[in-house]
A = this chain, B = another copy of it.
């Protein structure tokens, strides 16, 4: 198509409200337009990229026996009540009434709808396994959309649901899907995406993985072991801490007037956080219990792990009206409050610690966990730390990186089939619940991540497989008769050869032309100009300038074909 006709505005200045490069470039290049908080329209160039990504995803889903379906965007609340998620999900699930006052939700994920579609179909073991998927608009009422397409409220997602009669079958399919995801990310130009073990959160089930693009723009913390390759999302990463018990210090009270935080305590007693035992108090939201977690003073609470432990949501406890507990001075010895107490593994074998004395303005020193607390059990509720011990190989080789989640896969078990009464008859005629896996990729976020990974100051550098066009043809000085003729010819020749070309024949300066071309980010550019034609050639230049060659106009089709077919390898 002719660039002159391409709908979308391009401009030079980086918008002040764009923190991420991908966001700024997509706004500057006429890819997306913001309509409301976390809601964007896509211009034609963005739509072309999205369709290419979707085609790749579709191919890979079909290759693992996926069958494409469409599930509704608007779903009745009653369906979500069956699984229990109408109640359990917070306000990110958008709820509303229709004209007849019926309760509905906007789909942010479609486990319920998938079960609804197949529960009358898959009533015999002979129908299993199978996988259905869709590529469709979803809405998630995020509290804090950010970064252009990185975190939005309305988005296009590929979501897939597989159904199985055994855990082994699910695991095999899960591995197939994992491999398909690796192929997808490699094909769209992000072979560096890694999968990490993750917390299943509101999805239910146990085993799950997130596919992460490591990037400083990421919101997620990824725990990596440089020695053995262990990889986990922070939320799921096991925290391993070693303490060497040996001190014979006595447990005794000390007065610590007005010293409440770990920092103040360390200052006051000239010790360091890892030689303290801190207490964190929470109230659970469903059962309204008071929970006190003790952990080593240098560790942070991993709320995802604590949520799994408690089996419900929680918030920081308000202790102001509790007479049985002394806020700021809570300790494991002599705590008499009505509460559930947990000890994090970071306290195991620790000694000579400072801790609260459950008395105003008083702490204890010399706490030896084993000696003074007896035969307690420990939980894993702390965050893994940089330089920490790898739970897999045991070396002190952990690093923490930032990452953006571009996909996720979950083993769901029978959470949905059981609550929604989907059953089948097995070989022996017994009624059973099938088990499910689900598999998601956000198309728009993936496009933004490709842009993050492939760009320079002047614009995106799209990998050919997802580029809006394969070739960008520039007629510099199209008012020159010879340039016009040669460029028009070349445009026709390339199009007839089935190559996707965007053709810039506007009467603008070479500077404007190339700046626009940089923003469109097509990898290969063919330049026809009076200067080139004097040498009877045109120029083929790659967007990243690693390729720059002059060829005769007659051979440019062949040259560009060879270059493009090289790309495919």
Residues of A participating in the B interface, judged by any CB pair closer than 8 Å: 1, 4-9, 30, 33, 35-37, 39-44, 46-48, 50-51, 65, 67-76, 79, 91-92, 94, 96-99, 102, 104, 106, 113, 116-118, 120-122, 126, 130, 132, 136-137, 139, 141, 143, 153-154, 156
**Contact between A40 and B72, CB atoms less than 8 A apart:** yes
User: Would you list 12 pairs from A and B whose C-beta atoms are within 8 A, ordered by A residue?
Assistant: A6-B67, A7-B118, A7-B132, A30-B121, A33-B116, A35-B72, A36-B74, A36-B102, A47-B68, A72-B154, A92-B99, A94-B96
A106 to B99 alpha-carbon distance, docked (Å): 13
**Contact between A69 and B42, CB atoms less than 8 A apart:** yes
- Chain B residues with Cβ below 8 Å from A42 are 69-70
**Contact between B116 and A41, CB atoms less than 8 A apart:** yes
On whether A68 and B96 interact (CB within 8 A), knowing A36-B75, A76-B36, A153-B74, the answer reads no
Nearest-Cβ distance from residue A536 to partner chain B, whole angstroms: 33
- The one of B5, B122, B154 in contact with A73, judged by C-beta atoms closer than 8 angstroms, is B154
When C-beta atoms are compared, the residue in chain B nearest to A152 turns out to be B72
Q: Which of A75, A92, A121 has the most CB of B within 10 A?
A: A121
**Contact between A121 and B9, CB atoms less than 8 A apart:** yes
When C-beta atoms are compared, the residue in chain B nearest to A131 turns out to be B7
- Chain B residues with Cβ below 8 Å from A120 are 9
A132 to B44 alpha-carbon distance, docked (Å): 8
Besides A7-B118, A41-B116, A94-B98, 10 other A-B contacts (C-beta < 8 A): A4-B126, A6-B67, A8-B121, A9-B120, A33-B116, A40-B72, A44-B132, A47-B68, A50-B70, A96-B97
**Contact between A99 and B143, CB atoms less than 8 A apart:** yes
**Contact between B99 and A70, CB atoms less than 8 A apart:** no
When C-beta atoms are compared, the residue in chain B nearest to A79 turns out to be B35
- Chain B residues with Cβ below 8 Å from A132 are 7, 44
A153 to B126 alpha-carbon distance, docked (Å): 35
A521 to B156 alpha-carbon distance, docked (Å): 32
A41 to B245 alpha-carbon distance, docked (Å): 62
**Contact between A75 and B35, CB atoms less than 8 A apart:** yes
**Contact between A76 and B121, CB atoms less than 8 A apart:** no
**Contact between A69 and B41, CB atoms less than 8 A apart:** yes
A143 to B104 alpha-carbon distance, docked (Å): 16
**Contact between A41 and B113, CB atoms less than 8 A apart:** yes
A52 to B97 alpha-carbon distance, docked (Å): 34
When C-beta atoms are compared, the residue in chain B nearest to A58 turns out to be B51
A98 to B140 alpha-carbon distance, docked (Å): 10
- Chain B residues with Cβ below 8 Å from A74 are 36, 39, 106, 139, 153-154
When C-beta atoms are compared, the residue in chain B nearest to A123 turns out to be B9
Q: Which 5 A-B pairs have the closest CB atoms?
A: A96-B96, A44-B67, A42-B70, A91-B99, A36-B76
- The one of B39, B70, B141 in contact with A41, judged by C-beta atoms closer than 8 angstroms, is B70
Nearest-Cβ distance from residue A405 to partner chain B, whole angstroms: 22
When C-beta atoms are compared, the residue in chain B nearest to A156 turns out to be B70
**Contact between B141 and A35, CB atoms less than 8 A apart:** no
- The one of B39, B91, B118 in contact with A72, judged by C-beta atoms closer than 8 angstroms, is B39
**Contact between A41 and B72, CB atoms less than 8 A apart:** yes
